[in-house]
Each structure stands twice: as structure tokens, then as C-alpha cells.
A = this chain, B = another copy of it.
Amino acid sequence: MFEDRSKKRTELGELGEFGLIDHLTKDIIYKNATTLKGVGDDAAVIHTKLTTLVSTDLLVEGVHFDLSYTPLKHLGYKAAVVNFSDIVAMNGTPTQLVVGIAVSNRYSVEALEELYDGIKLACEKYKVDLVGGDTTSSTSGLLISMTIIGEAATEDIVYRNGAKEGNLLCVSGNLGAAYMGLLLLEREKEVYKANPAAQPELEGYDYILQRQLKPEARLDIIQLLKENNIKPTSMIDISDGLASEILHICKQSDKGCSLYEEKIPIDATTVSLAEEFKMIPTVAALSGGEDYEVLFTIEQSDFETVKKLADIQIIGHITDKNSGANLITSSGAVIPLNAQGWDALKEKE
């Protein structure tokens, strides 16, 4: 729907596999001292004195993204940032990225340049070096594989399994906006399909759309915590919705929790758009996903420090395992959390 059909088109076959990788990566300058060798040999070479973190993501066209409303540059940016977010969730710093692209011949060289522009923009912003890649043909559509390398001192690494009874449950930013952005784009796509002459009604929703199309990894939050001498006891990033991530922490830490509905940070535009869609905003926060905020637990002794920090909200606390993982609703009802939070909430209605 946003495609510019006037652009130049170079077929992938004109460059060949090696030519294509060279072309897409030729202007890259490595910025991290730990990068000894990037693209161009059998493997990238990295030397850090710290501990290494590795995480991989696969994104498939038609499953994870819809190119009818996702510009390729945004897709590249988001794919990279989502991958960086996994390192942030370990309390680490992303440093090197390797990218695999499988692409059908309906894509042009220019389309891949746009995708790579987004990836490079994310790398620049987060000071990550793009050190390697593999490009191949696919029989259908586009598939992106990203593996991010990060670093942290061993003693700084935060796992999902460290939450202790009495710990405070915290979240950065606000939740549910990315999901509302998705619903908005899906709605406008349906309008466009019914009437291709219709203009999408996206005005006033810049923030919501940006949360869906151009999310950020919260490297700033883990830096802020470090500056304030706070090391979370457990941490995870929110890719699948608040409920699912809380359950991961509870399960791996062998604990329960109390989450307070009224404490969940939700932006005003998320609330109003949710109402337009006749949806409970809390549901978008619990089950929407793709916010890429960090969810973490801290010692009670850090309460006074954390409550002064901007963009961090205390939303509950960790309990013993037998109490279970519960949502305390605004009306005071106690509802067991599950990964599909809306089921539980429907019972409330």
C-alpha cells in the first residue's frame, strides 16, 4: 500500500551471490574495537575480555511481517532492534550482528538495499557492527535470520531465573501500543483492499504506528539501572506480551507473583484506540506483545531509588510459588495469569 512503483529495478541475478553481499556491505565501517574482522572471510573474528552473549531470531514473510504495510527499511530496522533487545534483556550490550537473508527473485537489488539501510541504521544507532552474512535464494518470499553477539561482565549478566519472593516487578516504558499499531495497520489494509482509492486514516496515530513499525531496544534502561547501582534479580524483554513474559520469569524462578492491573503503564493513545476497537486496554498490554520493553525484578531495598527513575514503573511483586501468578484487577478481583491473558479477562466480564 505504500510502495513506490517508480523506482529503478535491478534483478538479483545481475550481481550474483558474492557480488550481492559485497554490494550490500561495501560501505560498512567497524566501530567496535572488539571487531577484528567482519564480512569477507569464512567467519567474523571478535575479541572481547568480557563474556559473550548470543541470540538468534528468524523472521518469515507472511508469518512475522506483512510487506503490504511494512516498508522494507522499517523491517530491517525492527528485525535488528528486536534481536538487540535479547542482549539487553540479559543486561548486556549488543556488539556484532550477522544477518542471513533468503529471498525470492521477485525482490530487486534495490529492495534489499532498503532492507539493509534499515539494518545499518539500527546498527549505527546501537553501535553494533554488521560483521557477516549469508544471502541465498528462496522459493517463496523473504526470510531474515539474525544472530546478535553481545557482551557483559559475567557478574553483570541477569537471567530469567533469579526472581526472589518479595522482589518488586518492574517494567519500562508503556505497553500495548505496538499491538494497537498492528490492529490499525490491519484495519487500513482491509479498507484498502475493499477500495484501493481510499486513503489510509493514520493521522494522529504516529506514536502508535512507530511503536509497531520502529520499536527500540531499551539499552538506555539497563544503562540507567547500572548508573544507579541497581542490578535486577531477573529480566526478560517483552516480545510476546506482559502475561507471557511474567510467566516465564515465575516458571524459571520457581515463584508466583501479584501483578496490579492499575499499575500497568498504558499510553493515552493506546487507551483511546483500544476503546475505538472495543477492546480492554489491559488486554493489549497483557497479550499484545512486540513492545520490546524490559520486564525485571529488583530487591525491595532498591525501591526508593527505582521509584525516582523516569520511564520505569513498579507493577507488582514476586510471591511464593504456591500463590500462583495472579492479576489483581482494578476492581480487586484476583485472576490467574495465563499466556493468553484475554481468556482470563473475558471471565471477568
Interface of A (DSSP majority class): strand
B100 and A41 contacting across the interface, CB-CB below 8 Å = no
A-B CB contact pairs (8 Å), 10 listed: A42-B87, A43-B148, A43-B150, A46-B51, A55-B132, A56-B133, A58-B136, A60-B139, A60-B143, A138-B143
The distance in angstroms between the C-alpha atoms of A131 and B53, with both chains bound, is: 11
Please give, as numbers and ranges, the residues of chain B lying within 8 Å of A57 by CB-CB distance.
100, 134
Shortest Cβ distance from residue A152 to the other chain B in the assembled complex, whole angstroms: 8
Knowing A62-B139, A145-B100, the reply to whether A52 touches B46 (Cβ < 8 A) is yes
For residue A141, CB closer than 8 A to chain B, the reply is yes
Could you say which of A89-97, A169-177, A208-216, A325-333 contacts chain B? Answer: A89-97
For residue A48, CB closer than 8 A to chain B, the reply is yes
Interface centre among A47, A92, A160, A236 (most CB of B within 10 A): A47
Out of B44, B45, B147, B159, name the residue touching A41 (CB < 8 Å). B159
The distance in angstroms between the C-alpha atoms of A101 and B45, with both chains bound, is: 25
Please give, as numbers and ranges, the residues of chain B lying within 8 Å of A150 by CB-CB distance.
43
Please give, as numbers and ranges, the residues of chain B lying within 8 Å of A53 by CB-CB distance.
43-46
For residue A61, CB closer than 8 A to chain B, the reply is yes
Interface residues of A in 109-151 (CB under 8 A from B): 131-134, 136-141, 143, 145, 147-150
Out of B62, B98, B102, name the residue touching A147 (CB < 8 Å). B98
Please give, as numbers and ranges, the residues of chain B lying within 8 Å of A140 by CB-CB distance.
139-141
Instruction: Count residues of chain A with CB under 8 A from any CB of chain B.
Output: 60
Out of B61, B92, B134, B235, name the residue touching A139 (CB < 8 Å). B61
A56 and B137 contacting across the interface, CB-CB below 8 Å = no
A157 and B45 contacting across the interface, CB-CB below 8 Å = yes
A55 and B44 contacting across the interface, CB-CB below 8 Å = yes
For residue A10, CB closer than 8 A to chain B, the reply is no
Shortest Cβ distance from residue A138 to the other chain B in the assembled complex, whole angstroms: 5
For residue A307, CB closer than 8 A to chain B, the reply is no
For residue A154, CB closer than 8 A to chain B, the reply is yes
